[in-house]
Amino acid sequence: MQPPTLSLIGTTPRMRWAWTAAGVLLIAGWVHRPASAQEPAIFRGADLKLGEELIAQHRCAQCHAEKVGGDGSAIYRPLGVINNAGLLRGMVEQCNATLNFQMFPEEVTAVAAVLNRDHYRFKD
């Protein structure tokens, strides 16, 4: 006596081909994720152009250069205290409050997203 076949998978060549094709497409979807899907969820949809404009307007680089010397980029320490996207956004919010920039939440997120893109590169 033979064991029953799995009717879900199908026994015809056409069904086996269909299941194989579906599996390949599923795996391809997992392997090839667009770059935006790899950025932290907190930054998805952030207006990077706005973030760049706000960084220039509030002279972030100049202030940081005064604090740490050089071009100010030494303050962005990927392996330092800021070790995830949420903490990065929180640090930008702290600068916003301390320096009374009066940025809206989406503006804070935009600035943090630019810093993540240019310096930190946190992934989801």
Local confidence band at 14 (pLDDT 50, 70, 90 cut-offs): low
Q: Which residue is listed with tokens 């050089």?
A: 70
Q: What are phi and psi of 16, to 5 degrees?
A: -65, -40
Largest CA distance in the chain: 83
Q: SS3 for 92?
A: helix
pTM for the whole thing? 0.67
CA 14 to chain CA mean position, Å: 41
Give the Cα separation of 121 and 34 in Å (integer): 15
Domain definitions of the chain by residue range: 41-120
Closest to 117 (Cα-Cα) out of 39, 3, 10, 63: 39
pLDDT, tens digit, 9 for 90 and up, residues 44-68: 999 999 999 999 999 998 988 888 8
